[in-house]
Amino acid sequence: MLPLGNRCFQLLFFRISTFLTLSQKHMDNLLKPPESVCGMRVLDRKLFEKTLEVPVITLKDIKVSAVLPVLKKYLLKVEKLKPIQHVNPEEILIYLSPMLVQQWESIPEDVRQRLHSEHIKDENFKKILYTFKYENFTAEEILRAILPPDKEGLSSFTKVGHIVHLNLREHLLPYKNVIAEILLDKVPGCRTVVNKTNIIDNTYRNFTMDILIGDPDMLTTVKENNCKFKFDFSKVYWNSRLCTEHERIVNKFQEGDVLFDVFAGVGPFAVPAGKKKCTVFANDLNPESFKWLKYNFEANKVDQTYYKLFNRDGHDFIKNDIKLLLPKFLECEKNVYITMNLPAMALEFLNSFVGLFSHEILPEYSKPPLVFVYCFAKGEDCMEITKNKIKDTVAYDLSDKIVDVFRVRTVSSLKEMMRVTVRLDRDILIADRKRKLEDHFNDIQNKKVILDHSDGKEQEKVK
C-alpha cells in the first residue's frame, strides 16, 4: 500500500491530467459544429448555431495596415466571417481566434510590445459574444460533425462542371440526402449532386447514377488543358481526377507529332494534342462519346486537317486503321504516340500490336512508337503487380520494351491506377503472332497453384 502522501500526489496528478485533457478537447471542439448534430439525417441549419466569446481588438484612429502584419497569425479564420470589420467610420474591430487568444496576456510579449508601439494596449482588448451559424462552417467540418465518428467518413468527391459526383459506401447511404444538401450549399458552382450506383463494367464505360438533389440536367462543361469539354455525364466516361495525368501526357506532345488515341472518350488527350497541331487519330466505341468527341474538336476550333475520328472497337481500330496509317509516319521518322486509357482491360489490346505487320510491309525505323497503356494494380507492390499483369496478359515478352511504370493515382485501399510506357520495337510488330499466342496460351494452361502441405503456403509450379 502506497504511503498517504504518494496516494494524494497521484490523485492530484490524475485530476490535473484529466482537467488538461478535457480542456484540450474543449479547445479542439471550440470552433467546430455542436456535437448535438451528430447522426443528423435531415438537415436542420438552425441546430448549428453556437454562441462563443470571441476576443477582439478595437482600433480607433489607427491604420489597420500598421497592425495587420503583427496580428495576422492570430486572426479568426472561419467561413463567411471577415476578421476585420468596420463598425463605423472611426472604429474597427479585429476578430481573433479564441483557440489562440483567451486574454490579453495570451498574446506573446514581443507581439504585445509591437502593438504597444502602435498605441494598442490591453484596454483595446475585449471579448464579445458571437453566434456561429451553419454558414460559418465548411462542408468538411459539417460532414465530420454529422457522420458516425467510428466509421470512415466522406473522404472525397469529384466535381464535373456543375455536377458533384459521389461514390458513397454502404454505411453512408442513410445519410445520402443530408450529404447531398450540404454539398449543394457549400460547393461553389454546384447545381446537382449524384451518387454512383454501380461499377463501370459495361461496354461504354458509363454507370447508372442516383440524382440526390438539384437540377437533373446531366449535360455539363469542364475546362482542362486550355480546352473546354462538353458532354452528357450520364452517358460517357469522365474523371476529373485524371486532369493532372492528361496534362502530363499532353505536355509530351510537340507540333508535328502523331497521336493514335484508341479509347479517346470525349477527347482529354486528343483535343489538346490537336490544338498543338499534332496529327490526331481518335477512336471511341461509345456512339455518345464519339458524338461529343467530334463536338469538342469543333468547339475548340481545331483545324480539321489535324484530326480524323473513328467509332470502332479498339481491336478493329488497331488492326485496320493504325495498321494502314502507321507505316508512313514511321518512314517519315515522326514521333508517334499511342494512348490506351481503358484501365480495366487495356492490356489485352496490346496483343493486337503483336505481329500486326509482315516483314515486307513494315519499313525500317529509328523512332519506335510509344504506347501509354493504363491498368489497375491491386495489392501492396503495385509496380511488381503491374509487370506481372503484363506478362500474364500480353502474348509477347515486353520486359525489355517497358520504358516506364508510373503510379497515376490511388483508386481505393490497395488499388492503384498505373501507366505503363511501352516501346513498340520492330520485333513486336512483325512477331509470329500465331506462334506467340499459342505459346502464351500454353504457358497459362501449364501453370498450376499447388498447396504445399508442409508449410501451408501456396506456391506456383509449372508442369
Structural element, H or E, at residue 89: none
CA neighbor of 236 nearest in space, from 311, 291, 308, 173: 291
3-state SS, residue 282: strand
Report residue 148 as a C-alpha cell: 458516425
Whole-angstrom distance, CA of residue 153 vs CA of residue 133 = 22
Model confidence over 245-286: pLDDT tens digits? 999 999 999 999 999 999 999 999 999 999 999 999 999 999
Residues of the chain with CATH 3.30.300.110: 139-217
Of residues 85 and 461, more confidence is placed in 85
CATH code: domain 139-217 is: 3.30.300.110
The pLDDT of 343-348, averaged and rounded, is 94
| pLDDT grade for 197, boundaries at 50, 70 and 90 | confident
Q: Identify the band that residue 28 occupies on the pLDDT scale cut at 50, 70 and 90.
A: low
pLDDT on residue 254: 97
Q: CA-CA distance, 241 to 158, in Å (whole number)?
A: 7
Residue 436, pLDDT above cutoff 70: no
Residues in the annotated binding site for S-adenosyl-L-methionine: 246, 284-285, 313-314, 341
Assess whether pLDDT exceeds 60 at residue 113.
yes
**pLDDT, tens only, 204-236:** 566 678 999 999 999 999 999 999 999 999 999
Amino acid (1-letter code) at residue 446: N
pLDDT in tens, 401-418: 999 999 999 998 889 999
* Nearest Cα to Cα of residue 293 among 304, 279, 277, 282: 282
Give the residue numbers of the binding site: 246, 284-285, 313-314, 341
pLDDT digits (tens, 9 = 90+) for 347-403: 999 999 999 999 889 999 999 999 999 999 999 999 999 999 999 999 999 999 999
Q: b/e map of 127-151 (b: 16 or more CB within 10 Å)? A: eeebebebebbebebbbbbbbeeee
Q: Does the domain at residues 50-132 carry the CATH identifier 1.10.20?
A: no
277: left (phi over 0), alpha (psi -120 to 50) or beta: left
Can you tell me the mean pLDDT for 111-116?
A: 93
Residues in Cβ contact with 374 at an 8 Å cutoff, skipping those fewer than 6 apart? 340, 341, 342, 343, 346, 408, 417, 418, 419, 420
Kind plus residue range of the DSSP H or E element containing 421:
strand 415-423
Contacts of 28 (CB under 8 A, 6+ apart): none
* C-alpha to C-alpha distance for 150 and 352, rounded to whole angstroms: 49
Q: Using CA atoms, how far apart are residues 353 and 396, in angstroms rounded to an integer?
A: 10
Q: In the beta sheet, which residues pair with residue 88? A: 91
The reported pLDDT for the residue numbered 414 is 85
Residues 6+ apart with CB under 8 A from 188: none
Q: Give the pLDDT confidence score for residue 25 in this predicted structure.
A: 44
- Work out the angle between the directed axes of helices 109-116 and 64-71 (0-180°, nearest 10): 180
Burial class (CB in 10 A: 0-12, 13-18, 19+), 313: middle
User: What are the cell numbers at 192?
Assistant: 446537382
What is d(CA 310, CA 307) in angstroms, rounded to the nearest whole number?
A: 10
**Mean pLDDT within 420-436:** 84
Name the segment(s) of the chain with CATH classification 3.30.70: 50-132
* pLDDT (average), residues 276-299: 98
Residue 338 pairs in a beta bridge with: 260, 371
Angstrom distances, CA of residue 424 to CA of 39, 205, 356, 406 = 56, 27, 11, 18
- What sections of 300-343 are H helices per DSSP? 314-316, 323-331
Q: Are 40 and 178 in contact (CB under 8 A)?
A: yes
